[in-house]
Structure formats: C-alpha cells, structure tokens
Amino acid sequence: MTASAHPCDPELLAQVLRPYKEHCKYLKSVVVTSVDGDVSTQCEFAIPESCYIDDTGHLNSVEVNICYNQVMYYTVAAAVRWKLLADFAGWTMEDYWKRQLPDILIARFESTFRRPVNPRAFRGEFAFQQIQRRAPGGGPPLLVAHTTHRYHDASGGRCDGKATLAFPNLPD
C-alpha cells in the first residue's frame, strides 16, 4: 500500500481562492491524502455570513456548491503539484492555473441534506471516485471525473452528494 498525506499549503490555498471575493473564501484548511492512487481531501470551512441572503441559520445549497468548488479546486491543484493522480501527471501548475476557471466544469451536481449543518464551523470531505478520458463524437479528448462530497458539523448536521466534472481543453 502506498499512502501519502499533504497538509494544507497556505500559499497554494491562497492562490486557489484568489478568484473569490474576500467574504466568500470559506475553505480554511485542507489535508489531501493519496492511498494507492485514490485521492481524497479532509477540510474545514467557516461561513461567517452568507454572501447572498439573510442568515438562514444553516448551510444551504448555494453555499454547499461554493464549498465544493473551493475544495475541488484545491484538490485538483494538489493532485497536479504533487503528481497524485495519473490523469493529471502531464499537467504543470501553469496548466492548472490557466484552466482553473474556464476549463474545469461541473457537469452534474447533487447534494442531500440529512440534518441542518451549522455554517459557522463545519468539516468536509471530497473524493475522486473515477476519472475517465473520453473523446465524444471523435472530438478532442476530455477528462470526466466522478466525485463525492460530504459536510458535517459537531452537532450531527450532515449533507452529502455527488458531482461529475468535465475537463475539456487538456494540455498537450
């Protein structure tokens, strides 16, 4: 068994979150783990105040999507930097930064709330389940990644889900 853990790199986190407005930087810390090529992330979030609505008192679907984006972007950047996934082995960090916003697409996203999650302090998990290289209709190749995400708080709040990512415009 080959395993490695990569604790939060504050510089990488700051770069990943650079596109976000200051009050929308919810991801606070991250640990990315690779075990026999399976990559997952444990993280901590805090949302002091919703960026778009009056306080609901619980994590909502818009905030879950923002949290997902942030942990997913960090995990992909970490996979590129530390060569954690074979599908990103040929990427450089320059390739990643060039593609972070325009070429990492959420093709499908779902989340299920089991119990309300306190948005002020909660933990999350992200994992790659499967990555496939495809060339639909004989067109240019793209990566399709199936992922899972989960959020929970100290009081038993819980939300989990799945998302499918598409990575078109792959580096040469």
CA quadruple 53, 50, 113, 19: dihedral sign: positive
User: 149 with 125: CB under 8 angstroms?
Assistant: yes
Alpha-carbon distance of 134 to 143, in angstroms, equals: 6
Alpha-carbon distance of 27 to 47, in angstroms, equals: 9
Percent of the chain with pLDDT over 90: 90
| Topology, domain 3-167 | Thiol Ester Dehydrase; Chain A (3.10.129)
Helices (H), 24-108: 61-81, 93-99
**How would you class 56 by CB atoms within 10 Å of its CB: exposed for 0-12, middle for 13-18, buried for 19 or more?**
exposed
Per-domain boundaries in the chain: 3-167
* CA neighbor of 162 nearest in space, from 68, 57, 27: 68
Q: Transcribe 108-157 into DSSP letters.
A: EEEEEEEE---TTSEEEEEEEEEEEEE-GGG-S-EEEEEEEEEEE-TTS-
Query: Each residue of 19-41: pLDDT tens digit?
Result: 999 999 999 999 999 999 999 99
Query: Each residue of 80-104: pLDDT tens digit?
Result: 999 999 999 999 999 999 999 999 9
